[in-house]
Structure 1
């Protein structure tokens, strides 16, 4: 029996279109599905044909807690990339600041926070 694989994660964002476009611009992903969702919100599935991030929005900003101190909170989303340096240039060109760069076995990484405070880790394995 093959091991299970992660299909998606579902996160809440303030502006569905802005978050969708950021994921498309950075990672070359596409919208797999978009439509009405619970409590009057809208959801967009953005990713590859096999894996995606479900973005949920009710179309309003809200206060955010520190997820590293919240049981069950989202700490960051990790994305494997082929060329970390090129991706860092794209992240910066979109206006985001990178931080927490590190080299470790077996690869390199950096982080950035998006407009909703969602932290992304980009990693390149050697």
Structure 2
């Protein structure tokens, strides 16, 4: 039996801005966009096999005030596997984000960054 994660869905401040940097940094494309639950707007960004849905309600919600690592149901981070971690880090910086917490570990390398909405991304390479 094969099981694969199809997508994750995040609330963001501006789906169009988030979709743009996701495409620029990871080389993804917009799969779909349009009206969503509660009169909001969603964009699906990713590859042909999986994607990230970025959603915004009509009135911007408040940012979390507690650590996501200390909130039941909070999303701690999203990990993306890449072939060329150095090239992606260059793109992350060009998008205005600051790579942090670099580590080499068996079997690969990784770093993290926070986007403009405070969503933490982990970039991993097993190459």
TM-score by length of 1: 0.94
CA contact (8 A) 1:45 1:54 kept: yes
Contact 1:14/1:62, CA 8 A, preserved across alignment: no
**What's the CA shift for 1:108?**
0.2
| Aligned counterpart, 2:63 | 63
Deviates more, 1:55-64 or 1:14-23: 55-64
Counterparts of residues 38-49 of structure 1 (less than 5 Å): 38-49=37-48
Residue 26 (structure 1) aligned with residue 25 (structure 2): yes
Quick check: 1:117 aligned with 2:93?
Answer: no
Q: Which runs of 5+ in 1 are unaligned?
A: none
Aligned-pair CA distance for 1:67: 1.1
Q: How many residues align?
A: 125
2:95: which partner in 1?
94
Structure 1 vs Structure 2 CA RMSD: 1.1
Runs of 4+ in 1 over 6 A off after TM superposition: none
Shift of 1:95: 1.1
**Structure 2 SS opposite 1:88:** helix
User: How much has 1:10 moved relative to structure 2?
Assistant: 0.6
Flag structure 2 segments of 5+ consecutive residues without an equivalent. none
TM-score, length-scaled by structure 2:
0.94
Aligned position for 2:50: 51
